[in-house]
Amino acid sequence: MKICFVCQGNIIRSPLAEHIFMQFADAKGIADKYMVDSAGTIAYHTGERPDKRMRQVAAERGLVYSGSAKQFKRDDFARFDLIIAMDKANRQSLQSWTVTTEQDNKIRLMREFDSQGGTNLDVPDPYYGGPDGFISTFEIVKRSCEGLIEELEGGQNSL
């Protein structure tokens, strides 16, 4: 299965989700079943490394990662089976590019898979905040990735 995680700039939330998902998949011995990537809805940060503050929070929790930002393209709807938006604004941007119901149906929100998500389905963007926001976002993305893998592997797969 091919999955793309999408946030606005592809420097904080979506690359974090990409790498946490693969860390969980590796630990479960199922990494070969998935091809994951991440992208942004805007091109502003294209070519930049993931945000240093999030990489630091992740490293303190055992996840070291790298990569470079890229923008989601319309062709990506054909490349991916599942497109996970970090918040409603990202989903709306993605939906504005869809031309078929099939493409639209590929888009889900990250916190749909968060056991503590409740009615708040947005993963907060900590870019303009302090360190606590990065920690909170890390925990939300971690829970959501765990829930996503459980849904994909649990036989109750509605995806």
Please confirm, yes or no, whether 61 is among the known catalytic residues: no
Enter the DSSP assignment of 124: P
Please confirm, yes or no, whether 4 is among the known catalytic residues: no
DSSP assignments along 72-101, one per residue: --TTHHHH-SEEEESSHHHHHHHHHH--SH
Nearest to 138 by CA among 9, 4, 13, 10: 13
Selected catalytic residue, list 55, 114, 125, 145: 125
Q: Which residues are catalytic?
A: 7, 13, 125
